[in-house]
Structure 1
Amino acid sequence: MAIALGRISSSYRSHLWRSLLGCPEAWHKINCSVLLMKESAIHTSSLAFAGHNKWSKVRHIKGPKDAARARIFSKLSMMIKVAVKEGGPNPELNPHLYNLVEQCRQRNIPKTSIEVAIKGADKSKPASYALFQARGPGGASLLIELLTDNTNRSFADVKLILNKNGGTATDGARHCFTKKGVVTVQTYDKDGSPVPLEQALEFAIQAGAEDVQESQDEEDKDVYKYICEVPALREVRSQLLTLGMVPISSAPEYLPIITVQPSDSDKEKLFHLLELINNQAEVLRIYDNIE
């Protein structure tokens, strides 16, 4: 199972798709292939924080809500500073920054805190994105996304945590994932009316998305995840806005194409490992391929 993406019954979703896709043209549109971005072009603007759906079910592992929120803003703040350096301090002229500011607003982060992060970009150290591949307990593949000013130091810190908790660094994890665009939206429209899954699936067809999945955010609130080609990310988000949906974030994400089923004991070890890694200040997101 992928971080940040929930599961819905495959048979139920297949039935819905068959009922919705009554014409070959629509079916062709939904099943368009995914064009992958270059490995170096991560620049994600959507985070899977410590309270992601799987971890939130393990209550003795998940930290207090206030601590989780503090980590969330710390990581968003880092990304805001990088976005400002790359595209300027005006959110209206910098789509990457605009998306991050919207994420902050969705999480009720004070406006003054957002402004401080934007103004502090000039004083921050140069940072870059890095992708670390690893293997966890039970054979789970992990992709660890970092934002760091010292890649060697950050990789060494992650390796130390892995070695002490049943994991190891590897070069073979990337092939278990594919990169797609993911637009996360609220499960109710701009007027506050709930949007049922059947309607969300119809919107996926109209917006040009390949699929829509039910999930939960870091505070266990229900959300929809619209999956699309990476180059179509902005257009799908725009279409969902037109249809009345309320976007929370939009970014490329790594989704598993090869999954594993660890034992219960290995899952416990893995969740503990993920929590330790995620608590690292420079870690933005962790993807796994647990089914």
Structure 2
Amino acid sequence: MAGHSKWANIKHRKGKQDALRGKLFTKIGKEIQVAVKEGGPNPEANSRLRDVIAKAKANNMPMENIQRAIKRATGELKDVTYEEIIYEGYGPNGVAVIVQALTDNRNRTAGDVRHIFEKFGGNLGATGCVSFLFEKKGLIIVEKEEGIDEDSLMMMALDAGAEDFSSEEDAYEITTSPEDFSKVREALENNGIKLASAEVSMIPSTYVALDGEAAEKFEKLLDRLEENDDVQNVWHNAEFPEGWGE
């Protein structure tokens, strides 16, 4: 939908995550372990690990938790091997949903995710059934605060390699290619810009507006998915009613 703010959905989700802080740290810890196994324990040489550590710090995850996750991945501590699985499906009113999971038991996770979808008016679909409605992009959010000059921030982001910059009601949204995400994020941080959110995400090309009843049902579906220990990320193209959840 024209004018829809990506920050609106992220802010809504972050409010829920704040209430589940312990689970959030566990989920980020899994991401760190996967990143280390993929590219090694040195953040300077592993951009994915560097990005996850930045995400961990942005969510106030203690450094000892970060180091513990790295040690698990390198074998210094007892480790569990996680497999990444992507599920696609539909929520109420045909909302498109992509679920990213990291699991040590594929059958358990598949059963749990299917049950959650069906319980709250959705259904799982085949691989590819909704992913064509999304594009993988780096998304950086900077909340509007006194002292942040819009033109300076825009030029800083574009000069670092950002693809797009938009000014929404209460935040600036910066979009990058997945490959340039780390470079743009680091350029902003090095210039003292505080980031409200920064991650590689699945950005929908269109949105589905939900009314009160459908929004309530879909919110329950999202909450239950994000409470699941195996679920890392949930992306969707729902547009909640204005002011929803405030």
What are the residue-to-residue correspondences of 1:242-281 with 2, within 5 Å?
Answer: 243-246=191-194, 250-281=198-229
Q: Given that residues 140 and 288 in structure 1 are in contact (C-alpha distance below 8 angstroms), is that contact kept between their aligned partners in structure 2?
A: yes
What are the residue-to-residue correspondences of 1:53-64 with 2, within 5 Å?
Answer: 53-55=11-13, 62=16
Q: Given that residues 134 and 168 in structure 1 are in contact (C-alpha distance below 8 angstroms), is that contact kept between their aligned partners in structure 2?
A: yes
Seen in structure 2, the aligned counterparts of structure 1 residues 186 and 56 have a Cα distance that, compared at 3 Å, is: closer
Q: In the alignment, which residue of structure 2 is the partner of 1:136? A: 91
- Summarize deviations over 1:222-244 as a string: whole Å, max 9, x none: 76442022232233234434554
Q: Given that residues 51 and 199 in structure 2 are in contact (C-alpha distance below 8 angstroms), is that contact kept between their aligned partners in structure 1?
A: no
Structure 1 residue 146, shift from structure 2 partner: 1.0
- The structure richer in helix per residue is 2
Find the aligned partners of 2:32 and 2:118 in 1 and give their Cα distance.
Answer: 32
Task: State the SS of the aligned residue for 1:203.
Answer: helix
Alignment partner of 1:75 out of 16, 19, 27 = 27
Task: State the SS of the aligned residue for 1:125.
Answer: coil
Q: Is residue 201 of structure 1 aligned with residue 154 of structure 2?
A: yes
Q: Given that residues 55 and 271 in structure 1 are in contact (C-alpha distance below 8 angstroms), is that contact kept between their aligned partners in structure 2?
A: no
Q: Is residue 100 of structure 1 aligned with residue 57 of structure 2?
A: no
Seen in structure 2, the aligned counterparts of structure 1 residues 149 and 170 have a Cα distance that, compared at 3 Å, is: same
Which structure 2 segments of 5+ residues have no match?
240-246
Find the aligned partners of 1:79 and 1:168 in 2 and give their Cα distance.
Answer: 26
> When the two structures are superposed, what TM-score results if normalisation uses the length of structure 2?
0.80
What are the residue-to-residue correspondences of 1:6-155 with 2, within 5 Å?
Answer: 6=7, 52-55=10-13, 62=16, 65=18, 67-121=19-73, 122=75, 123-155=78-110
Seen in structure 2, the aligned counterparts of structure 1 residues 215 and 142 have a Cα distance that, compared at 3 Å, is: farther
Higher relative contact order (CA 8 A, sep 6+): 1
Which structure 1 segments of 5+ residues have no match?
8-47, 217-221
Find the aligned partners of 1:252 and 1:102 in 2 and give their Cα distance.
Answer: 12
Find the aligned partners of 1:201 and 1:224 in 2 and give their Cα distance.
Answer: 9
Structure 1 residue 141, shift from structure 2 partner: 0.6
Q: In the alignment, which residue of structure 2 is the partner of 1:20? A: none
Structure 1 residue 183, shift from structure 2 partner: 3.4
> When the two structures are superposed, what TM-score results if normalisation uses the length of structure 1?
0.69
Q: In the alignment, which residue of structure 2 is the partner of 1:165? A: 120
**Number of residue pairs the alignment of both structures matches:** 232
Q: In the alignment, which residue of structure 2 is the partner of 1:177? A: 134
Find the aligned partners of 1:246 and 1:263 in 2 and give their Cα distance.
Answer: 34
- Summarize deviations over 1:175-197 as a string: whole Å, max 9, x none: 21111122345667xxxx73144
Supply the AA of the counterpart residue of 1:6: W
Find the aligned partners of 2:182 and 2:55 in 1 and give their Cα distance.
Answer: 16
Greater displacement, 260-269 / 205-214: 205-214
Seen in structure 2, the aligned counterparts of structure 1 residues 186 and 116 have a Cα distance that, compared at 3 Å, is: farther
Between the aligned residues of both structures, percent identity stands at 30
Q: Given that residues 58 and 197 in structure 2 are in contact (C-alpha distance below 8 angstroms), is that contact kept between their aligned partners in structure 1?
A: no
Query: RMSD between aligned alpha carbons?
Result: 3.0
